[in-house]
Amino acid sequence: MEDSWELVPTKNINQMLRLRTDINEDNLDGKFKNLLVVKHKYHVADDIMFPDPSCLAFFTAFEQNHLVNFEQNDELKLLGVDIFEGTMKFFIYCDDAQKTVYDCISFLKSNPLFKCEFEIILNDNGNSIKKLKA
């Protein structure tokens, strides 16, 4: 999964958008129709407005040590990460959004400094990722 990401050029210098290249949102298995967006509002510490190193380290561990395991078990697909002006968003496609929220909480509760919100979009079918690419 490491080699299957690409940084997507954006119109804003304060945005870093990373999307999967090995999964086409049009061909998502019908099993992964629902979108779960995990959102973390971080403290902006500099002019570029990116998260501090501890925040990046925690969410890198969330992605690499937690979400990857669920993806390998064919329970979800992480298709995008958007860091933009104080908010970090993970775009996760899944079948059972409620279960996926609970699975995420099991890791995220390990550090109360990094509180998250969840947004569920039922039957998104890759539409949100298409909008990010546009």
Better-predicted residue by pLDDT, 51 or 66: 66
pLDDT at 40 over 80: yes
Shortest CA distance to 113 belongs to which of 24, 67, 36, 52? 52
Q: Look at phi and psi of residue 27 and say left if phi exceeds 0, alpha if psi is from -120 to 50, else beta.
A: alpha
* CB-based contact 128:91 (threshold 8 Å): yes
Whether the full predicted model's pTM is greater than 0.85, yes or no, is yes
Reading across the β-sheet that carries 76-84, which strands appear in turn? 5-8, 15-20, 76-84, 87-94, 34-41, 117-121
Interval 77-104: pLDDT, tens: 999 999 998 899 999 999 999 999 999 9
Assigned token pair, 32: 């992964």
Q: Domain 2-123: which topology?
A: Alpha-Beta Plaits (3.30.70)
